[in-house]
């Protein structure tokens, strides 16, 4: 996702990333592999 934003002209200094990996406490594989995206605009 970060690379796609950078290709669209957004500076890497303005993009914050955070990731956790698989949620082993989830009830099934579909929930364990979900992706949460949050946008924070930095100027």
Q: Is residue 11 part of a domain?
A: yes
Residue 6 belongs to domain spanning: 2-32
- pLDDT tens track for 4-37: 989 999 888 888 887 777 888 888 887 887 777 7
Is residue 40 domain-resident? no
Indicate whether 9 belongs to any domain: yes
Q: Is 35 left (phi over 0), alpha (psi -120 to 50) or beta?
A: beta
- Overall number of domains in the chain: 1
Residue 28 lies in a domain: yes
- Please report whether residue 37 resides in a domain: no
d(CA 27, CA 8): 37
Q: Are 40 and 16 in contact (CB under 8 A)?
A: yes
**pLDDT for residue 7:** 94
**Considering the domain boundaries, does residue 39 fall inside one?**
no
Q: Is the pLDDT of residue 3 over 80?
A: yes
* pLDDT at site 9: 92
DSSP letters spanning 2-43: HHHHHHTT--GGG---------TTSSSHHHHT----------
pTM: 0.51
């Amino acid at each position: 996702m970060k690379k796609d934003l950078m290709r669209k002209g957004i500076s890497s200094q303005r993009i914050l990333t955070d990731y956790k990996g698989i949620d082993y406490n989830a009830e099934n594989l579909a929930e364990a592999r979900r992706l949460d995206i949050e946008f924070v605009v930095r100027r």
